[in-house]
Amino acid sequence: MTTDKSIYPWGHHRPYNSYAQYFERTFGERVQKTTIDAGFTCPNRDGTVARGGCTYCNNNAFNPSYNDAKKPVEVQIKEGIEFHANRYRRAKKFLAYFQAYSNTYAPLEELKQIYGPALETDGVIGLVIGTRSDCMDEEKLKYFADIQKTHYVIIEYGIESTYNKTLERINRGHDFQNVVDMLHLTKEYGIKTGGHMIFGLPGESRQEMLDQVYTLNELPLDNIKFHQLQIIKGTHMAKEFKEAPQNFNLFGMEEYIDFVVRFLEKLNPNFVVERFAGEVPPRFLVSEGWGKIRYDQISNAIEKKLIAENTWQGRLFQ
């Protein structure tokens, strides 16, 4: 069994480029994200490019209880910091995480009125901005590049799949090339980039899902997140699932753990892995899911399997 951390280019003992260790290495201490719902929507919801949103999406399923778009951003951040203070007592620095919907889908002047107060809140050292590639432009990138001179900034783009057939099926409203182009443009402005992927989307075989790693490896990403598909109540996909469950091939827990290990072996070792899986309260799930298994149990199981198989992120990277 390999335990020598010198084999890992990220410089710590864990067999993948861990998000937690990345921040401790960067800032010298724990940094915690606190989420905000700033009341945005998406262009595939309001009719600009489509209606109904992504077929799998129900933001209520992952918004923390302290998030409420009716509350000012500063209030949500302060309540989030208080919430995390009980769980993560070592955390003294926080990132304002704008998670719900597309958080650059507004004119720049409106964005300034949202992000300015967030950065002025005590304890906040930067921004994590979740958005779509078709909701960003150079004017906004210049603004975020200026912020990055004094604060940590990362733009997280929803990739979801590298296949256009899938993006069309889930009503994404843009193609994969749109994501590629915006990632490169964001990098040109010196801004950190993140990507979000969903494994298990209908119409993709397991091999197709695995083969996406080669395309992702060529993208200018700093961070990456992985989620397994979960069927959420109140979504169009829940309706599809009810009408034709045979069209879905959801991951079992053990199967997913093995899949992620195989994916990580081929993944660019420079990518910081932020999440391996999604966690949704059972009351939101249409399908049975994985029961009461929590995210940290999945994460630990993946790490143990990597160690047991004497493998690690990027071992087979080319």
Please name each of the domains of the chain with its CATH number.
5-308 (3.20.20.70)
* CA–CA distance, 79 with 58 (Å, rounded to integer): 23
Q: Tell me the residue type at 291.
A: G
With 0-12 CB in 10 A as exposed, 13-18 as middle and 19+ as buried, what is 317? middle
Quick one: pLDDT at residue 134?
97
Q: Residue 171, SS3?
A: coil
Quick one: pLDDT at residue 84?
79
* CA–CA distance, 183 with 226 (Å, rounded to integer): 18
Look-up of token digits 């160690």: 307
Q: Tell me the residue type at 106.
A: A
* CA–CA distance, 141 with 136 (Å, rounded to integer): 7
Per-residue pLDDT in tens (0 to 9) along the chain, 318 residues: 344 555 698 988 999 999 989 988 888 888 889 999 999 999 999 999 999 999 999 877 766 666 788 899 999 999 888 887 776 666 789 999 999 999 999 999 999 999 999 999 999 999 999 999 999 999 999 999 999 999 999 999 999 999 999 999 999 999 999 999 999 999 999 999 999 999 999 999 999 999 999 999 999 999 999 999 999 999 999 999 999 999 999 999 999 999 999 999 999 999 999 999 998 888 889 977 788 889 999 999 999 999 999 999 999 998
Pairing label, strands 124-131, 93-98: parallel
Quick one: pLDDT at residue 2?
46
* CA–CA distance, 56 with 234 (Å, rounded to integer): 9
Look-up of token digits 């733009």: 155
Rounded to the nearest 10 degrees, the angle between the axes of helix 253-266 and helix 295-308 is 60
Backbone angles phi, psi at 311, to 5 degrees: -135, 175
CA angle, 56 as apex, 50 and 57 as ends, to 5°?
75
Helices (H), the chain: 19-27, 73-87, 108-120, 138-147, 164-169, 176-188, 206-216, 236-243, 253-266, 295-308
